[in-house]
Structure 1
Amino acid sequence: MTLQVDPIDRKLLRLLQTDSRKSVQELGDLVGLSASACHRRLKALEERGLIEGYRAILSAERLGYSMQFFIEVGLTSQSETALEAFEAAVQDIPEVLECHLMAGQSDYILRVVCQDHDDFERLHRRLSARLPGVARIHSNMSIRTVKVRTGLPI
């Protein structure tokens, strides 16, 4: 369901995607609203579900996670029970940053981070042994990140 967004809301959303640390006063000044009017708009955007949260983007490499993998997972069954069991189990693995249910060759694609090759081997064994219904795993190592965009093109 697409919600209607006016030009001021769009500008607020673009500004927040760029820097969510700006104060309500700063945001208001940039979009031509008072701080109180800007605050009301932000609350309305949050209540409508257009703003899901605010977060810091951390440096994986500086925190020791120098390796990133995209892991394709095929399950033995695509039943609702099998999918739910897999999805519940993957929630408990902190190295899994993203998990996407796919249409196509793989049932899921996981984006994971690891500190080194040994860390990846431990994670790979953990994925193979602990995730229910796994028939096959195919791992792809990211050599270099070319583009990351956390914001949407609004």
Structure 2
Amino acid sequence: MDNIDKKILSELQLNGRLSITELAEKVGLSLSPCHRRLRTLEDSGIIKGYSIQLEENLIGLSFSTIVFVTMKNGDKKTISHFEEAISNIAHIIQAQRLFGDPDYLLHVVVKDLISFQKLYDRKLSSLPGVQRLTSTLVMKNVISNRILPINFPPV
């Protein structure tokens, strides 16, 4: 990946709706080479897809929690069943497996506290292999959906 590829990725992170013409102009390429590079980035898997970002509050998902999960066992079967189960809960918008304790961090968005309680009681508390769930409320998103720092010098 060269600097032009990085420019393409940076521009698309800022605005995934750019036309190929607009993108080519922003990165200083003619249309055909820009299109070829874009296809190569897509085909290689570097670009996973295109999406939009929604404002949670404006679509009725104004209650956000972080749920820390400690597992009973760390064996492959338990982990696989747990990860499959959480992938089927739409209100979990991000899930990360961690080193140490806790084992997972889940970011959950719902309408309100009552909705979270129902989700917790009906689904989260019955997840396979879970020893303990600990929740904390998100007061405010300070940094959200930040673009990846591909055009910045290494730290």
Identify the TM-score tier after normalising by the shorter chain: over 0.9
TM-score (structure 1 length as normaliser): 0.94
Q: Where do 5+ consecutive residues of structure 2 fail to align?
A: 151-155
Q: 2:65 aligns with which of 64, 69, 74?
A: 69
| 1:134 maps to 2:130 | yes
Letter in 1 for 2:136: N
Aligned length: 149
Please state whether the residue corresponding to 1:84 is helix, strand or coil: helix
Separation in structure 2 between the aligned mates of residue 100 and residue 144 of structure 1, nearest angstrom:
20
Aligned to 1:44: 40
Partners of 1:49 and 1:94 in 2: CA distance: 24
Deviations 1:18-49 (A, max 9, x none): 00101000110111111121110000111122
- Taking the aligned partners of 2:95 and 2:83, their CA distance within structure 1 comes to 8
Aligned match of 2:114: 118
Matched residue type, 1:127: L
Shift of 1:150: 3.5
Aligned twin of 1:31: 27
- Give the SS at the match of 1:16: helix
Instruction: Tell me how far apart the structure 1 counterparts of residues 146 and 51 of structure 2 sit (CA, whole Å).
Output: 11
Instruction: Compute the displacement of 1:50 (Å).
Output: 1.2
The one-letter code of the counterpart of 1:114 is V
Give CA-to-partner distance per residue, 1:79-135, whole Å, 9 cap, x none.
111000100111110000111111011111100101111001011112002x10111
The one-letter amino acid paired with 2:107 is R
Report how far residue 149 of structure 1 moved: 3.2
Taking the aligned partners of 2:119 and 2:146, their CA distance within structure 1 comes to 26
> What is the alpha-carbon distance in structure 2 between the residues aligned to residue 133 and residue 7 of structure 1?
45
Scaled by the length of structure 2, the TM-score of the pair is: 0.93
Aligned residue type for 1:49? G
Cα shift readout 1:54-74 (whole Å, capped 9, x = no counterpart): 001111110001011110011
- Same amino acid, percent of matched pairs: 38
Q: CA RMSD, aligned part only?
A: 0.9
Give structure 1 regions of 4+ aligned residues with deviation exceeding 2 angstroms. Answer: none
1:92 and 1:23 mapped to 2: Cα distance? 34
